[in-house]
Amino acid sequence: MTSLRLYQLPRQCLRWAGYRTLSTYTLRDAVQRGAPIDVHPEVQDALAHGQPVVALETTIVTHGMPYPTNLTTARSVEKNVRANEAIPATIGLIQGRVKIGLRPAELERLADVETNTDVVKVSRRDIGATIALKKDGGTTCSATLIFAVLAGIKVFATGGLGGVHRGGENTMDVSADLHELSRCSVGLVSAGVKSILDIGRTLEYLETLGVPVVSYGETNDFPAFYTRKSGFKSPWQVSDPASAARILHSQQQLGMSNGTLFAVPIPEKYEAVGQKLQESVEVALAEAEQKGINRLGKEATPWLLKRVGELTEGKSLASNVALIENTARVGARIAKAYSQLAKDMGMSGPQTDNDMSRSEISTSAFRTLLQSTSEGADKASTHSPPNKPAGRLVVVGASAIDITSQANTDDPSVSLHSTVPGTVTTSLGGVARNMAEAAHRMLTSASSALEDATVLVSPIGRDAFGKMLVNETEQLGMRSDGFLHVNDGRTAVCNMVLDGSGGLTGGVADMDIVQSVSATQVLDIIRVHEPKIIAVDGNLGEDTVQAIVEHSTREDIQVFFEPTSVVKSTRVLPAVKASIDTLNGNRPPIAYISPNILELSSIYQAVRTNDLTAHDAWWRIIDDMAVGSEFRLDLEHLARRDACETNRDKGTLSFLVNDGVAQMAINLLPFFQHIIIKCGQLGVIVVFRAEKGSPWSQERTNIRSRQVVAHGKTGQSLVLKHYPARLLDVSSIVNVTGAGDSLVGSLLASLVQAPRSFQDSAELDRIVGIAQKAAIATLQSRLAVAPSLSTLFQLRM
């Protein structure tokens, strides 16, 4: 038995019951608190839709291997993860920002250690300082575990886990990796622990911490990094990814906060050289003790690995590369098995509360959705426009058929993995389509002369679902001449399976076709019409969005951008960036944008990352707003108000200041003239710059009316106004999928008839109130857009 001296630590060092809070603190919480975290869109999409993701560390890049081997290895590891049908999420820090999923340029930056000499090694203790001092950093196992569990990533592949250093019973030198693994519910896949460590004591310590150790292979031999056997045995052994996934899933079901170590032996062909490498390890350890290197803390491991490489004339490096590539393959397979198990058990959908997108992406489509254009798409053909007037509102984006299958029984003993009696219903969906229908119903209710005012531009396939979309659209009295028929495309479909109580048990969304829309096709339709406003949803590719914005700027057409999801919210930024040199205070490239709080934060962080706030034009416009201490004081007073006067349980408007919502919105105003922030049960916030000479120039801050106003140097007014959520009986809610789209569609209808609605306080109050009623009506309807919008509201213009 290992000497008990190792464990004679202060009690708080081993106390871990309180660490459970980490697993319940989500990425959503972190973002809302303004944490400097950027999740790669591909990783976000995968997590939001229950696809397999594997976390990868970067200390091996920054401190474990020389350049350029570190870069080629990192790329190879990511490639191996992809080859086994999972998404790699390489984690690191760039200028104090946590990156969950590195872009190629960011990976190259961390790998170029010869130039980037200030890059630091980041463990738990270093995270705060690295962020605060805006350093670049490679994450150790412990830091990677923290960010993986925060993002909801269930599997992490690395080379070797840290552990108890030799002589640790005297020096108390124990890696933070072990404690972190005891409080992060992640499956860590490694080639055991680094062979420079005390493997026996490390295993004993893991037992004390309650971390399961599982050998992944045909025996329960615990590997020793360079060799397949260490002389120690693991208490558990599995030989396939499905069994490993079940271990993780069982712990998840019980709410256990600890992780699991899966020890994967190095490939057999490296076993012979591994024995010789271990001899060099012993030499390096002896040298480290003689030179006092073993007392340098986190610097000891990189020195030892480098020295072993020198003693073995590079042979250890080849083994290092081989074992990390192997653990990446195994990690991807376990992640894939876990993802499938979660779906089979009815846990499909977001892996964590960090969901930042709608359920619109199919398993086969998520990579396509990240491309700005879809190359090789067949030429699409459109209906010849019938004898109809030119449209005044053009809405561009996704249309879909929603298929909902619900079992007739809520008996838990009835398996939904076979055919059961139930009901199958179909309805129309898709963000752009929903907005267009809502606007159409509202405009038609205002005047029969406006029944053809809305044109929906959306791709559909030449298939049965495409025909259904056309027929159902025409039956609603909407125009169908804007549909783009893609010859070999599949009409977008979202298929959901519900249990008897209405809970989602699984589903598939196929939205590939949206990316087949080219800028040329869209602009050809827009030119046929004379729109006052063009609404664009975030499903479109970046190139298409940019082309629409550039055309609208030339033709003096207002653009309304609906972000759709966090992942897609930044697709408007290339258009913004392209226009920054011509930016002026009177006409930003985007007239209106309607994010929720998470989408707002995503856009703001991307704007900062791309240095758009460093441009002279941005500074000039911000300076003109004259946001001084009086405005900030007024904002703080507003933030102390209850979000809802009739329900104090909803809290206050403190998130305006504490979460930086007001600051982010104001900093985005040079690019977006009117920002409508959807805050769910906390209401709606509008932030915008009113024109010079508008009625707002006579308005003042009025906390009772929930508005803060500042008058700029050149006559424009900065307005921030809060609209509390309207009263709603929660039991009356039957659908939440189209409420936001209905709100936006209602605003579009108002703006078509009265483009200057935001320039007058009373008129703004009226149209936002109508939009909120539209959203409530859809919440109480089983359809994506409530039919009652056609009769419930009469627009007074």
Active site residues: 57, 194
Return the structure tokens found at 104. 């190629």
Rounded-to-integer distance, Cα 187 and Cα 177, Å: 13
Give the torsion sign (CA, 192, 196, 200, 201). Answer: negative
CA distance 182 to 192: 16
Strand order in the sheet with 493-498: 422-429, 400-407, 493-498, 504-510
286's tokens:
């002896």
Q: Which two tokens stand for residue 50?
A: 């229950």
Q: Rounded to 5 degrees, what are φ and ψ at 502?
A: 95, 0
Closest CA to 435 of 480, 396, 484: 396
CA distance 315 to 419: 57
Q: Are 374 and 515 in contact (CB under 8 A)?
A: yes
Q: Residue 355 and residue 341: Cα distance in Å, rounded?
A: 19
**What DSSP string describes 212-263?**
-EEEESSS-BPPBTTBS--S-B-SEEE-SHHHHHHHHHHHHHTT----EEEE
**Residues across the chain:** 797
Kindly report the three-state secondary structure assignment for every residue of 664-727: HHHHHCCCEEEEEEECHHHCEEEEEEECCCCHHHHCCCEHHHCEEEEECCCCCEEEEEEECCCC
DSSP string of 91-105, one letter each residue: EEEETTEEEES--HH
* Rounded distance between C-alpha atoms, residue 650 and residue 610, angstroms: 35
| In contact, 296 and 41? CB cutoff 8 Å | no
Q: How far apart are CA 183 and CA 291, in angstroms?
A: 35
- Joined together, the tokens standing for residue 96 give 């104090």
Residues 6+ apart with CB under 8 A from 619: none
Report the C-alpha gap between 86 and 101 in whole angstroms. Answer: 13
Let me know: does 665 contact 583? Beta carbons within 8 Å.
no
Q: Cα 695 to chain center, whole Å?
A: 40
Rounded to 10 deg, the angle between the 69-83 and 104-111 helix axes is: 140
CA 42 – CA 58 distance, rounded (Å):
19
The sign of the CA dihedral 662, 665, 668, 674 is: negative
Exposed, middle or buried by CB within 10 Å (0-12, 13-18, 19+), for 503?
exposed
Tokens 């869109």 belong to 41
CB within 8 Å of 529: residues ≥ 6 apart? 390, 391, 392, 394, 455
Sequence letter at residue 591: A
**Distance between CA 10 and CA 13 in Å, rounded?**
6
Task: Give the list of residues 6+ apart from residue 285 with CB closer than 8 angstroms, or none.
Answer: 166, 196, 294, 304
What does the longest C-alpha to C-alpha distance in the chain come to? 91
Angle formed by the axes of helices 241-253 and 315-344, to 10°? 60
Rg for the chain, CA atoms, rounded: 29
Give the number of C-alpha atoms closer than 13 A to the C-alpha of residue 790, restricted to the C-beta side.
13
Beta strand ranges found along 599-644 (DSSP E): none
Nearest to 394 by CA among 220, 234, 552: 552
